[in-house]
Amino acid sequence: MCGIAGIFGPDAASPRDPAVLAAMDQAIRHRGPDAGDLWRDEAAGIAFVHRRLAILDLTPAGAQPMHSPCGRFVITYNGEIYNYLDLRRELEEAGAAPAWRGHSDTEVLLAGVVAWGLAETLKRATGMFAIALWDREKRTLTLARDRFGEKPLHVGLFGGEIAFASEIKALKAHPGWHGRVDRQAIAQCLRHGYIPAPRTAFEDVVKIAPGACVELSPGRMTPGTWRETRFWDTLGEARTARANRFSGSETEAVDQLDSLLRESVARQMISDVPLGAFLSGGIDSSTIAAMMQSLSATPVETFSLGFHDRSTNEAEFARSVAGHLGTRHNEIYLSGEEARDLVVAMPDVYDEPFTDQSQLPTYMVARFARTRVTVSLSGDAADELFAGYGRYHSVARQWSGSPGARIGRLARRAYVSAQLAGLVAPAERFGWSRIGSRSPAGLRFRLEEKLAGLSADSALAAYERKFTLLDTAHRLVEGSRREVHPLLETVAAERDWSVLEQASLLDLVHYLPDDILVKVDRAAMAHGLETRVPFLDPAIVRFALALPDRLRTMGGERKGILRAVLGRYVPRPLWDRPKRGFGIPCADWLKGPLRPLAEDMFSSAEIARIGILDEGLVRLFWDDFLAGDRRRANIVWAMFVVQLYLSRQKDG
């Protein structure tokens, strides 16, 4: 895994400016601390920057930017191709292999491009990647991102040229950078806790979509003009899988998942540097650690993070699982003071407002793991694939076909209509605004907030509204609007899909790439640690998408099929317990040691200086929260993170 950046501007001087390229290199040095190099073609106006974290082929033969032997292609690439040995053999058997210079996956990837083309190579490849490929013959730049968005790729639009980078901070080195904040993106962050692709926090920066190849050439340098093709479509894969659902027995399903996971873990354990695994002691990470240890002749390094607060501490469970498996277990405890002091550093780590409260412990455990290993496997994506989140099941119950559920929906809609028509008592009479401001604007906002979740016309719309931080968050940002994921209506229209299937699919294309995978990538790469996600092997994803609910919830349990697999490796009493989460006591911090900083961020002067959030609503939520309404904790935390980030931006 590495960091990449570059500039393409046929008629501009930026690609030829060594100072600009050096600044881009420096900005992402943490992603590739082992080496760095750049390549440029001044006549074509193209330049590549590469920071190397050496994982496979540690010799100079694995260095980038890399040129194809034929001289046509140049590549800078971040990621890993796990089945590169299979692709290498395929090329050799077809007589399409070059005279190999080393044994890196980059060389195989480049040989595949020569033999099959980029899109076809990526269809054959299993891995995570962000790629920039220059074609000397066609004089085109192609940018590509892996199927699920494990690796980031941002593009800055600067008139007649573009810059691209693994992280936005490298784009700020471009002389055309102006940093105008995208107000709609901020509203989306307050709604979800993160900024969904293709938006970023800035008007002229976009994210390349997962599974896409984008071809740029002179005259085709903007999202409206460049040529985008998809080598992977999660919705299309889901439709195909669910038209051919798995019809075998429970035992056959468990056997197949066990086999697929072992194959994926085995491929992802290929490394020329020390390798380990994150282990929380829960189902997902325990499954990955168990399979790694079963495939290893020596103890696997495992890492867990503990909290001194027993209500959130899972370290003891991880220790028990590690003891059973025989891993070399490493454990660190996070103090509240240490995590709290890192809050002000997170804007620099994530480059955008990002409110997921588990970013701090993830950052800490990644820093700890990097002291022993260079690569760590994780259990991410299992919840989205095997219906593990409780929120899926609560919405499914509410929107079941039972008479009680139907009557409840009709009653809610009738009540909403009555409220809007003024036929029932004002909201405050029911205690909805018993805390905080009773101004007409505040009461109207509370009423709208309360009614928003009652008027959904589909189970998926109800799911999306219920599990946002605040469905009416756009009211906090003047000039923004309420916006849902563009696939929501399309997925909701899949009438033969269950609520579990609809909700988990939406998360697979929305929450997973824009929150979970962002969180892990930035936290780990801040320390030069590569993370790998075995559950996101395409074969496992296709298998999971084809599973009927009776198997995903085998035995009447969330992730029932995965529980059955784990039970073959680890005794159930060691991991069968309610999940405690990986969060932080943000409410206590905001009322305690972080309160002076929060008061500063929410002050009239600071809100006016930044000029994004609505002061009246900010104070409404803050006052409610301070008066004891803990339901406001998540949105208050999000507002705090947004203000903190924007304040740092304003300060330069």
Q: In angstroms, what CA-CA distances link 307 with 192, 253, 358, 364? A: 26, 37, 12, 12
Q: Regarding predicted confidence, which is higher, 74 or 444?
A: 74
| Mean pLDDT over each residue of the chain, to the nearest integer | 90
> What phi and psi, each to the nearest 5 degrees, are found at residue 469?
-65, -40
Quick one: 70 and 218 in the same domain? yes
Question: Confidence class of residue 412 from pLDDT cuts 50, 70 and 90?
Answer: low
Q: Is residue 219 part of a domain?
A: yes
Predicted confidence band at 441 (pLDDT cuts at 50, 70, 90)?
low
* Residue 436 confidence (pLDDT): 41
pLDDT given for residue 564 in this prediction: 98
Q: Are residues 442 and 304 in the same domain?
A: no
Q: Which residue has the tokens 């509204």?
A: 465
Q: What is the number of helices (H) and of strands (E) in the chain? A: 30, 17
Q: Is residue 162 part of a domain?
A: yes
How much is the pLDDT for 310? Answer: 61
Q: Over 80: is that where the pLDDT of 646 sits?
A: yes
Domain check: are 119 and 99 in the same one? yes
Q: Band the pLDDT of 435: cuts 50, 70, 90.
A: very low
pTM > 0.95? no
Q: Final residue of a domain: which of 197, 216, 232?
A: 232
Whether the pLDDT of residue 334 is over 90: the answer is: no
What local confidence, expressed as pLDDT, does residue 135 receive? 98
Tell me which of 294-298, 324-328, 440-444, 521-525 is least confident: 440-444
Last residue of a domain, one of 548, 574, 600: 574
Whether 39 and 80 share a structural domain: yes
Q: What pLDDT, on a 0 to 100 scale, did the predictor assign at position 312? A: 60
pLDDT at 457: 82
pLDDT for the residue 583? 65
Check pLDDT > 90 for residue 370: yes
579 domain-assigned: no
Per the domain annotation, does 503 fall within a domain? no
- pLDDT score, position 81: 97
Indicate which CATH number applies to the domain containing 48: 3.60.20.10
Question: Do 58 and 184 fall into the same domain?
Answer: yes
Question: pLDDT value at position 511?
Answer: 97
pLDDT for 85 equals 96
CA distance 644 to 432: 29
92-114: string of b/e by CB count within 10 Å (b at 16+)? eeeeebeeeebbbbbbbbbbbbb
Q: Model confidence over 511-562: pLDDT tens digits? A: 999 999 999 999 999 999 999 999 999 999 999 999 999 999 999 999 999 9
Whether residue 131 has pLDDT greater than 80: yes
Residues 6+ apart with CB under 8 A from 544: 385, 386, 552
Q: Is 230 exposed, middle or buried (0-12, 13-18, 19+ CB in 10 A)?
A: middle
Q: Which pLDDT band, with edges at 50, 70 and 90, does 619 fall under?
A: very high
Cis peptide before 196 (omega within 30 of 0): no
Are 330 and 426 members of one domain?
A: no
407 and 379 belong to one structural domain: no
Specify the residue for token string 């979970």.
516
Residue 500 lies in a domain: no
pLDDT, mean of residues 362-378: 96
**Domain count for the chain:** 4
Q: What is the mean pLDDT of residues 625-645?
A: 93
* For residue 430, pLDDT beyond 50: no
Q: 172 and 281: one domain?
A: no
Share of the chain above pLDDT 90, in %: 78
Residues 71-114 have pLDDT tens digits of 999 999 999 999 999 999 999 999 999 999 999 999 999 999 99
Of 35-39, 240-244, 517-521, the one with minimum mean pLDDT is 35-39
The size of the chain, in residues, is 652
Q: Are residues 337 and 373 in the same domain?
A: yes
- Residue 574 has φ and ψ, to the nearest 5°, of -80, -20
Is a pLDDT exceeding 60 seen at residue 385? yes
What pLDDT, on a 0 to 100 scale, did the predictor assign at position 438?
47
- DSSP state, residue 33: B
Same domain, 221 and 111: yes
- Among residues 232, 252, 285, the one where a domain terminates is 232
Structural domain contains residue 192: yes
Which pLDDT score is estimated for 452? 56
| Domain span at 599 | 586-650
Give the least confident one: 87-101, 215-229, 422-436, 580-594.
422-436
